[in-house]
Amino acid sequence: METNEVKAYGTEAVNVPLHSMNIKRRELQPHDVEMEILYCGICHSDLHQIKNDFGHTMFPIVPGHEIVGKVTGVGEHVKKFKVGDLAAVGCIVDSCGKCEYCEDDLEQFCDEGVTFSFNSPDKYLGGATLGGFSETYVCNERYVLSVPEKLDLASAAPLLCAGITVYSPLKHWQAGPGKKVGILGIGGLGHLAIKIAKAMGAHVVVFTTSPSKVEDAKRLGADEAVLSTDAEQMSKYAKSLHFILDTVSAKHDVNTYLNLLRPDGSVVLVGLPPEALEIGAFNVVGGRKSFSGSNIGGIAETQEMLNFCAEHNITAEIELINIQQINEAFDRLAKGDVKYRFVIDMASLKK
């Protein structure tokens, strides 16, 4: 297959800092969209992958799956996009397209396995897919999203992973008027969960271990904010919440939060702690509670989320960086030192 060479930032091994490299992108196929990448968000899972925390990183790796850009080329059969359109690519760039889940717009559950925007087998070029820390991206139009023009492009980039990761479970578990929704953790995911749950009409209670974030939670729209290390504060919320979205990506005690649920309530995990979490049997049996999980969303739901965020003027709170600052940004992300999402200005790649 014909290819084009483009600039990117990636690494060949766990302990090698990310650095400039040249990678290959496929030539346009009949249903492909090519975009110049304008902005790319940095997700906690990018950090997990470059550190091989999950044990399945395929090196060399180019991370990045919160991709916003401008269309620079379309294949002859492309119907939804034209050159010059604003477009985006999130986590999913391919699936079988014919199983029951793909047909139901649930590509994230594809029977044959979903292809992610980086670190998945690349059926076109071999090796692994390479992500958005690069000049361009090429993707089948079925997996490309339209970016509403009223959204600020840089701060919209994190919606492509963080946004859909929280929107999908909030919608599935019916966050809305009359529902008391807990948000555990205020980071890249949690701060967007506050904004989205509030826009859905829910009463939002935030739990954080950081005193400084208690006030910030209210600025972001939370109705209440609780310091989770304060046992007296926590005791006031026993059996009061319909649903808790758990965005924490480190080991933590989930049982504490199961005890804050009303009967039939759920704690839903969207963070990705590398270690196993323990669940006490009595904490789920009593009150018929559940501990569940959710992972991103399908393409149609991601488009729905982008449109919802445009309607409600929701974007991420970001720190815009140049690509040359990427290793410092990952070090800071590992320490939780970001409010609330790093986004790379990809124009810096040309420097």
DSSP 187-233: SHHHHHHHHHHHHTT-EEEEEES-HHHHHHHHHTT-SEEEETT-HHH
Q: What is the pLDDT of residues 313-347, one digit of tens each?
A: 999 999 999 999 999 999 999 988 988 999 999 99
Q: What is the pTM of this model?
A: 0.95
Which homologous superfamily is 162-293 in? NAD(P)-binding Rossmann-like Domain (3.40.50.720)
Phi and psi (nearest 5°) for 285? -65, -45
pLDDT band at 44 (very low <50, low <70, confident <90, very high): confident
225 residue type, one letter: A
Classified by CATH at the fold level, domain 3-158+315-350 comes out as Quinone Oxidoreductase; Chain A, domain 1 (3.90.180)
- C-alpha 96/C-alpha 111 separation (Å) is 8
pLDDT of residue 336: 86
**b/e 7-39 (16+ beta carbons within 10 angstroms → b):** bbbbbeeeeeebeebebbbbebeeebbbbbbbb
- C-alpha 144/C-alpha 133 separation (Å) is 17
Query: Under a CB-based contact definition with an 8 Å cutoff, are residues 243 and 269 in contact?
Result: no
- C-alpha 261/C-alpha 274 separation (Å) is 25
Residues 6+ apart with CB under 8 A from 121: 115, 127, 128, 129
Phi and psi (nearest 5°) for 23? -130, 165
Q: What is the pLDDT of residues 164-215, one digit of tens each?
A: 999 999 999 999 999 999 999 999 999 999 999 999 999 999 999 888 889 8
Domain ranges for the chain, please list them.
Answer: 3-158+315-350, 162-293
Q: What is the pLDDT of residues 218-270, one digit of tens each?
A: 999 999 999 999 999 999 999 999 999 999 988 899 999 999 999 999 999 99
- C-alpha 67/C-alpha 42 separation (Å) is 10
